[in-house]
Structure 1
């Protein structure tokens, strides 16, 4: 699953990079603003509503959020959640005979009779565990000729897993030590939420206290101590704890919670109807970007004004399983979704074919899939990020958009530092830095990631399909790609990792197929010309 935070090194340990508060970052709703009138590189949604859509009729479109969970009761989402009117809530019966009991707002494919999966392993961990059993007594000397390729892949994956686990444990120890030392300094200062001035006035008695003082003075120029502690220390501690104890742990396997046969990719009917699950932060944030209520005068403004959000839970805190991804796509398609947002991805795939078949099924049913490109700052033309386009037919690709993340300024920083890119694999870029949206508890928060950029585009797709319902999924994609605001200058990003990473400058057009940032105003103007038009070949 794509992470929406970046990590950097302080005091020799990797921790979450500082996330400035909204007041220090962007305007609220910046993703919907206009570059010319607002001096912010949004997608001109508000301009489109004001100049193109005022007084026009639309039809309701279902947009599925295939993610880690959506809080259906959120104050800014409850009115726009999809409701399966064919089901009678809570009667324990499959009233609509679709195979899913009491699926009122969607379905949870990683839930079981009593609870739901929260933490999961990475796909890499699962592959090593599988092949470790297969090659238990195999060596370079006795490996069968037919197994040599698989055995070499297993050894490389095992080495990668061991390296990642060692790094996670090292970083966990480091950030734990940093937290202990910082807590001691704060106790000496005697304030629960010290300021930069408090740290300046502090007199360190050890070298580590002096280093903490310098770091905190710098960090508190960007935000409060509370934000730094929550967003960096606690988040970093949680992140590396998850990696060491769950994601990279060969002995951890939560799948018994679900009660299915995880190796049976043809199994369809399992899970439960809890669309929030144990951690709905990510999916709730995504849902708000797409369609948070534009009429209630509270919270935020989603991109689309007449869509219903269907929650389909298929991604845990770890890597999603291909079986669940495929079934989530099929569920959304079969229950009326016309757009599916998938803000997730991974470096390895257990069974890419089963996902490909689901993608083809969605295309055959005229459903548009929008996917996040990933947050590793890598070229996914040459490095794997699953799902991907690489072995699919043109018809399927015509109904699938992959999205990179952009920032608010039309300058060399336009590419979000974390965003994956690819001249052949990424279609468009969209706002994905400091996006303020809904989170559980009827609250709001700013997050970064291609996970945030993808729902901007999914919202735009839902908007187009709502006002121009006769357009096909392939036409909507073509419109979105053709109507981007072209970027005719270079952007900079770090090539590689760490402080020695090389900074490169490339034309923005090298980063994606369209060479631009999506634009709702341009897209809707273009959509108006598409009546009866077929997609160009």
Structure 2
């Protein structure tokens, strides 16, 4: 799962400075504001509530958050959590006979009787591990003709893993070096949390001191030293260490915690009922964007005002397994979800077929899938990003939305620098930069990512299905795509990685099928015209 820790490689490698974030977007709730009224490129949710939905009746809709965990007791989520009323909490029995005992708020497919999986390997790591066993005694000289294709693929994957591990080690060393230089400057200043004035008054002794001063002068324009140090330095070191210790570690395998048969992708009944798990940061943030309580005068306001959040845990701090993804989709569908948000993705897939079948099942049951496009700044028309619908039928695709991330300003920076894109694989863009939402401990935090853009759209889908319950999943997707605010200018982004990667300027319309940013106001107006129509073809 992408954890949305988008640490700047340039900062890690060379203490480079980034531009300050657009000031107006610091407003909490900017994703729900209106471009014309509020000067930020939100989706006009508040305008829709004020002008279109006031006094209008709606029905409850269940939106599943298939993710890394949701804190069901959060002050801004507890009222809108789905509760399985057919279960008796805590009796250890499967009262509703759905195969999952005590599934009160949802289910955890990466847990077992003795706990839950936190960190995991990447799918790439697992694939190389399987290849090492299979090709233990194979060389270029003795590989059989029937195994040659798979052996060559294994060598490519092994090389990819070695590259990623090398990069993680280099990034950890670079960021650790930066931290040491930074700590030395802070010690010289004599204050644990220096201010802008302290930095300006500091007299550098070495070139490293001068560079640190330059970086801090820019960073403190955007926030406090404490936030910068914790979120960029400490979290960065933790992130790269976790990559080395867990994600890219061929010796690491936590699956025994679950207790399932790893080789049986048809197995469905395993896991536990802990929908939060050991790290509910990501899923809780996603849930708040969709539906944080709009009536309690606390924290934030979600997009949808009458949906229930079902927590389905299937993504660890690493890559999700296809079996768990498929089972999470089926669980959500079978237990009443009408929209499923999937803010995760990976570059390799062991068994795409099992996920494909689950997606077809969701489409057959009139459930809309909303998926994050990914945070690698890649064209996913050509680069692998799983799950995807490249080999699926039109009916399934008609019930599946893929979402890229946009920023707050209607200019060349509109495409979020990290967001994946694709003229045939990405349907729409939505706000995904500095999104303020719920996190564990009844707290709130800003996060970036297509992981944040996807629940904006899932919330909109839930809103439409709540106020127009007769519309099909395919119709809801069609409405969302047709009603975007079209963007008629170019956007800039870096193509590729590294200091020599070229910057390009392309029409925003080239980045997705719709060529625009989702708009709740437009979508609800269009939905009103669809009432009574037959399903979109």
- The farther-off stretch of 413-422 and 213-222 is 213-222
In structure 2, what is the equivalent of residue 140 of structure 1?
140
Deviation of the 1:16 alpha carbon: 11
What SS is found at the alignment partner of 1:395?
A: helix
Question: CA offsets per residue over residues 187-226 of structure 1, 9 Å max, x none?
Answer: 2222111013212322333333332222222222222101
Would you say how many aligned residue pairs link Structure 1 and Structure 2? 537
Contact 1:19 1:231 in 2 (8 A): no
Measured after TM superposition, the shift of residue 169 of structure 1 is 1.1
CA contact (8 A) 2:12 2:175 kept: no
Distance in structure 1 (CA, Å) of the matches to 2:22 and 2:498: 27
Q: What is the 5 A alignment of 1:32-111?
A: 32-111=32-111
Q: How far off is 1:22 after superposition?
A: 9.5
Per-residue Cα deviation, 1:38-59 (whole angstroms, up to 9, x for no partner): 1211111111111111111111
Change (3 A) 1:515 1:134: same
- CA distance in 1 between counterparts of 2:17 and 2:279 reads 22
**Residues in 1 aligned to 2:112 and 2:19: alpha-carbon distance in whole angstroms:** 35
| Distance in 2, Cα, partners of 1:127 & 1:445 | 35
Quote the offset at 1:183 in angstroms.
1.8
Structure-to-structure mapping, 1:273-292, within 5 angstroms: 273-292=273-292
Q: Give the superposition deviation at 1:185.
A: 2.2
Alignment correspondent of 2:177: 177
Corresponding residue for residue 400 of structure 2: 400
Gaps (5+ residues) in structure 2?
none
Structure 1 segments, 4+ long, off by >6 Å, are: 14-24
* Equivalent residue number for residue 498 of structure 1: 498
TM-score, with length taken from structure 2:
0.97
8 Å CA contact retained: 1:15, 1:175 = no
**d(CA) in 2 for partners of 1:93, 1:217:** 59
CA–CA separation in structure 1 for the residues paired with 2:452 and 2:50: 24
Which string of whole-angstrom CA distances, capped at 9 and with x for unpartnered residues, describes residues 237-287 of structure 1? 011001110000000001011111112101101111110001100000000
Query: 1:425 — aligned with what?
Result: 425
Higher mean C-alpha displacement, 493-502 vs 272-281? 493-502
Cα distance in 2 between the residues matched to 1:296 and 1:22: 29
Q: What is the CA-CA distance between 1:13 and the residue it aligns to? A: 2.5
Q: Please tell me whether the aligned partners of residues 15 and 233 of structure 1 are also in contact (alpha carbons under 8 angstroms).
A: no
Give me the TM-score of the superposition, normalised by structure 1: 0.97
Aligned-partner Cα distance in 1 for 2:408–2:429: 12
TM-superposed deviation, 1:21: 8.5
- Aligned-residue offset at 1:10: 5.0
| Aligned alpha-carbon RMSD (Å) | 1.7
Matched with 2:455 is 455
For 1:121, the equivalent position in structure 2 comes to 121
1:266 and 2:266 matched: yes
CA distance in 2, matches of 1:20, 1:470: 45
**Following the alignment from structure 1 to structure 2, what is the Cα–Cα distance between the partners of residues 500 and 354?**
40
Asked if the contact 2:64–2:337 (Cα under 8 Å) also holds between the matched residues in 1, the reply is: yes
Counterpart CA distance in 2 for 1:295 and 1:20 is 33
Q: Deviations over 1:381-420 (max 9, x none)?
A: 0001000110000010000000001111111111111110
Q: 1:511 to 1:160 in 2, by over 3 A?
A: same
C-alpha spacing 1:506/1:6, structure 2 compared with 1 (3 Å): same
SS at match of 1:308: strand
- Report which stretch shifted further, 249-258 or 174-183: 174-183
Moved more, 4-13 or 183-192: 4-13
Matched, 1:379 2:379: yes
Conserved 8 A contact 1:22-1:446:
no
- In structure 2, the CA distance between the partners of 1:218 and 1:21, relative to structure 1 (3 Å rule), is closer
Q: Which moved more, 1:167-176 or 1:348-357?
A: 167-176
Structure 1 gaps of 5+ residues are none
**2:355 aligned partner:** 355
Whether contact under 8 Å (1:370, 1:401) holds in the other structure is yes
Aligned to 2:507: 507
Q: 1:244 to 1:131 in 2, by over 3 A?
A: same
- Between 1:19-28 and 1:489-498, the stretch displaced more is 19-28
Contact 1:17 1:232 in 2 (8 A): no
